[in-house]
């Protein structure tokens, strides 16, 4: 059995003291592929430090909405250059975050549109962060969708209607730890979404699934999310692993 964590920030300082142990636990939990979304340009050098004999890493490049800096005149050109490289499988993470600040909403929107342009140009999926901004996020994706834009609503926490609209717009849904929370309602919505549009993720070190809620998240914990999805979909864990990994391979062209 092989599981794929499609969204993990293992390069952050939260893992600097025990990254080898974290990766060993991931391998033991059948995690064989981990995708690394960037949050800023510094992320690139940090990603290159990750190695494990049993795990394959794939990089993505993007500017997190909380890190947007539009003062760089060559930002789009530089992003396009990096994302064009074969070693990068996606564009992100990008998106909208109105939770921390509503002061720079227009900057975030402009950055998201820039990432959409790059994603279409390089023909790679876009990875979308969304916090308290669902209507604006989906509206922008609708406007930027030319028939070729693909991507994932990372850490999906939407309603059934929002999930279906996202899928209709060409997006997959990233199922993470929140889907295991008893009172969040996300699991019930995920159960109604088509399995061929779902991929698994951790968002490590954030959003640990039950029963690890409140602790630092890590790829090994994704097995709890996979087990929850198996219950929600009335499938075996092996079937969930095979299908979600297959979905990730197809979406990100992992070959």
Find out whether 121 and 80 touch, Cβ atoms under 8 Å. yes
Report the side by side order of strands in the sheet with 56-61.
3-5, 31-36, 56-61, 88-97, 126-131, 151-153, 171-175, 198-200
Please report where in the chains the tokens 């951790």 appear, as a residue.
202
Q: How many domains does the chain have?
A: 1
Q: What domain range includes position 53?
A: 3-252
Least Cα distance to 60 among 112, 7, 19 occurs for: 7
DSSP-derived secondary structure letter, 30: T
Q: What is the pLDDT along the chain (255 residues), one digit of tens a residue?
A: 999 999 999 999 999 999 999 999 999 999 999 999 999 999 999 999 999 999 999 999 999 999 997 667 789 999 999 999 999 999 999 999 999 878 899 999 999 999 999 999 999 999 999 999 999 999 999 999 999 999 999 999 999 999 999 999 999 999 999 999 998 899 999 999 999 999 999 999 999 999 999 999 999 999 999 999 999 999 999 999 999 999 999 999 998
Find out whether 95 and 130 touch, Cβ atoms under 8 Å. yes
**CA 12, CA 20: separation in Å to the nearest integer?**
14
Residue 65 class from Cβ within 10 Å (0-12 exposed, 13-18 middle, 19+ buried)? buried
Predicted TM-score of the model (pTM) = 0.97
CATH (domain of 122): 3.20.20.140
Alpha helices in the chain (DSSP H): 19-28, 42-47, 75-83, 105-122, 134-144, 160-168, 186-190, 222-233, 237-252
Neighbour tally for 164: CB within 10 Å: 17
């Amino acid at each position: 059995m092989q599981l794929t964590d499609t969204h993990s920030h293992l390069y952050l300082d939260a893992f600097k003291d025990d990254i080898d142990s974290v990766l060993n636990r991931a391998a033991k939990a059948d995690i064989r592929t981990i995708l690394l979304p960037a949050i800023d340009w510094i992320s690139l050098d940090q990603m290159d430090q990750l190695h494990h004999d049993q795990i394959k890493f794939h990089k993505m490049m993007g500017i997190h909405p909380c890190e947007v800096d539009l003062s760089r005149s060559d930002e789009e050109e530089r992003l396009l250059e990096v994302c064009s490289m074969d070693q990068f499988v996606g564009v992100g993470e990008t998106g909208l975050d109105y939770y921390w600040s509503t002061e720079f909403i227009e900057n975030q929107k402009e950055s998201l549109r820039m990432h959409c342009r790059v994603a279409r140009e390089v023909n790679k999926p876009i990875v979308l962060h969304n916090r308290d901004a669902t209507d604006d996020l989906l509206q922008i994706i609708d406007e930027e969708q030319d028939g070729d834009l693909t991507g994932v609503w990372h850490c999906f926490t939407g309603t059934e209607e929002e999930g279906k609209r996202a899928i209709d717009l060409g997006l997959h849904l990233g199922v993470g730890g929140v889907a295991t929370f008893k009172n969040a309602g996300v699991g019930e919505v995920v159960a109604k979404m088509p399995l061929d549009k779902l991929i698994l993720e951790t968002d490590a070190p954030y959003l640990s699934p039950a029963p690890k809620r409140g602790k630092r998240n890590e790829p090994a914990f994704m097995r709890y999310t996979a087990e929850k999805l198996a219950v929600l979909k009335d499938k075996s864990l092996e079937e969930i692993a095979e299908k979600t990994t297959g979905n990730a391979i197809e979406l990100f062209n992992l070959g």
